[in-house]
Structure 1
């Protein structure tokens, strides 16, 4: 009867390679979870991908040049709200601070909570559209039949006319979508995370 043999220990170099690979996998996993908030911060800081900037009210001169700003409002499935801007569009002079109100109403029979996400098109205008005040990313809970008005205060940087990529634009669209939310996150995102967490290896 042949005695059983134990596997010989891994050479030191092989162990080091294995540990390095495991460390790389762990690092990439952590980076994947960190990517979304880091990407969001990057977009907010640079206006990349149609994300408006956030800043204080402007005190500089107002230009005679202007752009038409369209307002697009949407409600995701699963949230019984009606959502609209007080006007579908305005003409904003560059450097001029403007205020537009948005109205939301809970048309359902129970209280519900929503959170709004936004985007600006064309995406290149995001670096010149500055939000001074906005209801976006703030959870709102409305009782059945309750209506609330929220202001958006913004201005467009005059530098949009000196950028060769945007100087010929005459209009832009600020788009908002309300999602049902829980704990400050859209429920669609929570469902995606839950599905990913429960997926078998």
Structure 2
């Protein structure tokens, strides 16, 4: 009887260990999986990355508005050099953003982005963007950063996005130390949850 009870307790312990290991693996994989999911589906306004220009251009136009934000811990001025442009669906367009380092030290920033309305994210395709890499600015340095994009003409055939005629592309610049801290905090929160 005691041997049977010991075996049952051992199975329960092993199952609990398996659950903890599974939860740890799921927490570790959640961020990369979510990023991949957003890039594939355009979920939450995540834009797509194109390797080439569109193979067709339609006469129908769409207005693209540009927005810029900076987190408080990054002493930069950041703005679009044009507030909006009207482009034909499938037409490759280029827009510029300007960043100025207002501090007395070299700062490294990286931008995140999204598209609104979110249904348009899947159809907004970037060929080249300053958001693909970190930007380093010396004290007082000013740079113009290009963005090359097109809006995929397949958007017209989409049940939800087909009626959209205005898109807002929004960027937010973060100080790189802030991002590292956020990742560390996320990892620490996941580790705490497991303990």
TM-score by length of 2: 0.90
Structure 2: runs of 5 or more not aligned: none
Is the Cα contact below 8 Å between 1:180 and 1:187 reproduced in 2? no
Find out whether 1:99 has 2:108 as its counterpart: no
Q: Is the 8 A contact 2:54 2:152 kept in 1?
A: no
Partner of residue 144, structure 2: 149
Number of residue equivalences: 192
The counterpart of 2:31, out of the listed 36, 39, 57, is 36
RMSD of aligned C-alpha atoms?
2.1
Deviation at 1:58, TM superposition (A): 2.2
Match of 2:104 in 1: 109
Q: Say if 1:134 and 1:151, in contact at 8 Å, map to a contact too.
A: yes
Cross-structure match for 2:51: 56
Deviation track 1:127-153 (CA, whole Å, cap 9, x = no partner) reads 111111112152222110011221111
For 1:133, which of 115, 128, 134 is the aligned residue?
Answer: 128
Cα distance in 2 for residues equivalent to 1:140 and 1:168: 36
| TM-score between the two structures when normalised by the length of structure 1 | 0.87
**Higher radius of gyration, 1 or 2:** 1
Match of 1:23 among 18, 39, 45: 18
The alignment partner of 1:25 has SS state of helix
* In 2, Cα distance between equivalents of 1:26 and 1:198: 11
Q: Give the corresponding residue for 1:189.
A: 182
